[in-house]
Amino acid sequence: MAICPQCEAEINMSDVEKGDIVYCPECGIELEVISDVPLELDIALEEEEEWGD
């Protein structure tokens, strides 16, 4: 179990690894698994889009 850093909801997860992206079922924010032991989440950074000419 982990805690959402945005809304502090408890999130039950299994079979996740560091670097995986998950979504909070309460607030819907995209989260990155930053540690798998202990299970810890952080808000995922959005990748910058390339701007065309």
Contact predicate 40/34, CB 8 Å:
yes
pLDDT at 50: 54
Interatomic CA distance for residues 9 and 18, integer angstroms: 20
Interatomic CA distance for residues 21 and 1, integer angstroms: 15
- The half-sphere exposure of 51 on its side-chain side, counting CA atoms within 13 A, is 1
pLDDT tens readout for residues 1-53: 999 999 999 999 889 999 999 999 999 999 999 998 899 999 998 765 455 55
Both tokens of 44, joined, read 């995922």
Interatomic CA distance for residues 45 and 15, integer angstroms: 22
Q: Look up tokens 């909801």; give the residue.
A: 9
Question: Which domains does the chain show, CATH number per domain?
Answer: 2-43 (2.20.28.160)
